[in-house]
Amino acid sequence: MQSKTKAGSDLLIAKVAEKFGLTVSKYLPVQKGYRNESHPVRLAEGTIVNIMLFKGGSGAERIIYNANSVSGFLADNGLPARKSIDERILKLSSGRIQNYAALYNFLPGDTIAWEAYSQKHIKLLGKTLGDMHHVLQYFDATELPAVADVYIEIVQRMAKYFRQYGVTHAVTLKLGLQIDLDTLRKFEIVLQQTKNLQNQQALHLDFVRSNILFMDSSDGPIISGILDFEKTARGNPLFDIARTLAFLLVDCKFKSADQVKKYFLNSGYQKRSKSRLPQIQINNGTFRAPLIETLIDIFLLYDFYKFLRHNPYEYLNKNEHFVRTRDILLQRDVIFLANIADK
């Protein structure tokens, strides 16, 4: 017997499907993300389609439109990305709450656990990201937000948070850590400079484990789906590369940082894809350094910040993802151990 929650969800999906002119014969397992829900359904004629529900908010409809444009362009050029099969973005109103729905093709496959990423999976990620960047060179990205502006605002938000006495005091006493605000100022300097880089193009910016579907084939694993382009923005491909690499450094706990970089950057992106790895040095306010390393630091610190914002500090040291993120940031001299002997 269906729960009231599932029955209510199925009723909503049936109504959305009806607005798209479809009749549902079976509701398949739902996948819930941070800002969306994926509802695959089997239609009366036997085909499977994917009804996506999106949270509303400021600019939500534009975000969905941008995501559909980039993802659809990739699908049209042979990449396994979602493609909308109806141009309409439906508005779903319930009282003062405004959400949205859109209709897409169904992509088979599954996400896999972070412990399961093999050398082949990591190389395949690098190749696919490079192939995606090659195709997106030809997409008109002028309407997309600039990734530098997006992350300058994020860095400023982090700086404001870490300037609070209550935060710095708690981070020191409860976690034994310190954050140097000068590091955040250097991040902002670097991000400002990236606005002048060449090869500005559409990027995914969330090419991470939860958004990649794999399937097995006779030749080994293949990527069967690239999901969730809601963070798409315009910038140099190093932003995408660094974002995925930051995720891999944390998630691939059975492989060293050198191994991850070798498989993803060299064997995957550089050797197997249609793109070439950008080699860019940039002034961080003190000296010139590889841009990719500074971007990795920014993405890792942003993940660290989100852990702090959304979890009680007392329990963070029991969270393996937090501990690995913290330890990598310490190794990279982005955060520091606090001297609490006199506290």
Q: How far apart are CA 13 and CA 276, in angstroms?
A: 43
Look at residue 343 in the predicted model and tell me its pLDDT. Answer: 47
Both structure tokens of 95? 């009282």
Q: What percent of the chain stands above pLDDT 90?
A: 86
Where does the pLDDT of residue 4 fall: very low under 50, low under 70, confident under 90, or very high at 90 and above? very low
Choose between 201 and 3: higher pLDDT.
201
Q: How far apart are CA 229 and CA 57, in angstroms?
A: 17
> Residues 299-306: what's their mean pLDDT?
98
Both structure tokens of 99? 């959400």
Prediction pTM value: 0.94
Q: For the chain, what's the residue count?
A: 343
Please state, rounded to an integer, the average pLDDT across all residues of the chain.
Answer: 93
Q: How far apart are CA 18 and CA 14, in angstroms?
A: 6
98-145 confidence digits (pLDDT tens): 899 999 999 999 999 888 899 999 999 999 999 999 999 999 999 999
Both structure tokens of 296? 């990795």
Closest CA to 136 of 87, 82, 201, 185: 201
Where does the pLDDT of residue 300 fall: very low under 50, low under 70, confident under 90, or very high at 90 and above? very high
Contact 66, 142 (CB under 8 A): no
Closest CA to 17 of 101, 84, 106: 101
Look at residue 2 in the predicted model and tell me its pLDDT. Answer: 41
- Which residues lie across from 26 on neighbouring strands? 42
> Residues 295-303: what's their mean pLDDT?
98
Where does the pLDDT of residue 95 fall: very low under 50, low under 70, confident under 90, or very high at 90 and above? low
Instruction: Using alpha carbons, list the distances in angstroms from residue 80 to 36, 112, 116.
Output: 19, 17, 21
Assess whether pLDDT exceeds 90 at residue 7. Answer: no
Assess whether pLDDT exceeds 60 at residue 69. Answer: yes
